[in-house]
Structure 1
Amino acid sequence: MDVQDYGLWSQVDCNQEFEFLCKYEIPPTSTSSIGAVILDADNHIDLDHPVQLIDTSNCNATLFLAPGSISSFGYPVYTVPPTYCTWQLVALGPYRLGIFFDFWETYGTLTIYDEFGNDIGRFMGTYDRTPFPRYTPFNVATVTFEPMPKTGSEVDKGFHAVILPL
């Protein structure tokens, strides 16, 4: 893996010895979040108050390879505080990226940049949007999301998007 650039795979001489790193995905046990077991004062398992160990947003992932999905931190559980997130999206090969927003209920600002840092899409100010797609001109893009502080009684539910190579 080329750690100097985008973290993609590069050819090397097979006679060279290198350290290696293994990675596997922790599968979620439900559609919301993975919980931890907490013991109450009597050392009984308290399943009514799980702790969110990880979420499925891929928020602030170093490099995210398509296909997959991204979302605001904590989606679809709306009890976590809004968090700034950034994603470096990559599609391997001669592809562009398709970003398909299937859920948007936020006043936050989401910006998409191409691989050269040019702003190619900014979305903000509309709380409830119908599903919409955006396409990148290259196979590398950066997405940032900055939530708005909650105002009044409205709950910021965030967003969810599916990322596909095109």
Structure 2
Amino acid sequence: MDVKGDGLWSQEDCSQKFEYLCKSLIITDPTPAPLTTKTPGNLEIESAKESKLPENLLDASNCNSTLLLAPDSIFSFGYPNAPSSYCTWQIRALGPYRLGIYFNFWATYGALNISDQYGNNIGSFSGTYNRTPFPRYTPFNIATVTFEPRPKTGSEEDKGFHAEVLMI
């Protein structure tokens, strides 16, 4: 992968040695330690209470991932619960395609910005909590989407957003 350029794959001589990066899901140990309690005689007793499995530290939003290839989807971190983290997506379509980003759910006070490969703004959305589904189209096959959660300003519960990313 070309990490200094646009993040797409390029041909290299396989006999050359390069450093590389790996991406993996971080999951805490699914085997909880037994809970112990002390009795008046200072005896430790193991608790028979069942612990629920720990949650993944990452979710499936593709938030802050290195590169997202269309078709795929993006959504606020923690969706459909209140967004809790700043997110950015570097989105690409292979070949002579543009990107179509179809926001099919929007119930957030957060601010979302879409820019093309040159940093030109394609769309900015904030301040309106409940939007009807809407699309955004890029002029090229590269886009950057950023989302910043904002404090709740109304009575509605912030649930974030969801969008499908397609090649057009």
Q: TM-score, normalised by structure 1?
A: 0.79
- Aligned twin of 1:3: 3
Name the CA shift for 1:139/1:75 in 2 (closer, same or farther; >3 Å): same
* Aligned residue pair count: 155
Partners of 2:109 and 2:129 within 8 A in 1:
yes
Q: In structure 1, the residue corresponding to 2:51 is in which secondary structure? A: strand
CA shift for structure 1 position 90: 0.7
Give the CA RMSD over aligned residues.
2.6
- Aligned twin of 2:16: 17
- Aligned twin of 1:113: 115
1:13-66 Cα deviation digits (max 9, x unpaired): 45x33358696886xxxxxxx88744562265412x742422111111121111
Which letter maps to 1:17?
Q
Which letter maps to 1:46?
S
**Percent identity over paired residues:** 60
Rg larger in 1 or in 2? 2
Unaligned runs of 5+ in 2: 36-46
Which letter maps to 1:133?
P
Of the three residues 64, 68, 88, the one matched with 2:68 is: 64
Of the three residues 87, 90, 110, the one matched with 1:88 is: 90
Of the three residues 76, 79, 83, the one matched with 1:75 is: 79
Q: TM-score, normalised by structure 2?
A: 0.79
Name the CA shift for 1:65/1:154 in 2 (closer, same or farther; >3 Å): same
Unaligned runs of 5+ in 1: 27-33
Q: In structure 2, the residue corresponding to 1:9 is in which secondary structure? A: coil
Partners of 1:64 and 1:87 within 8 A in 2:
yes
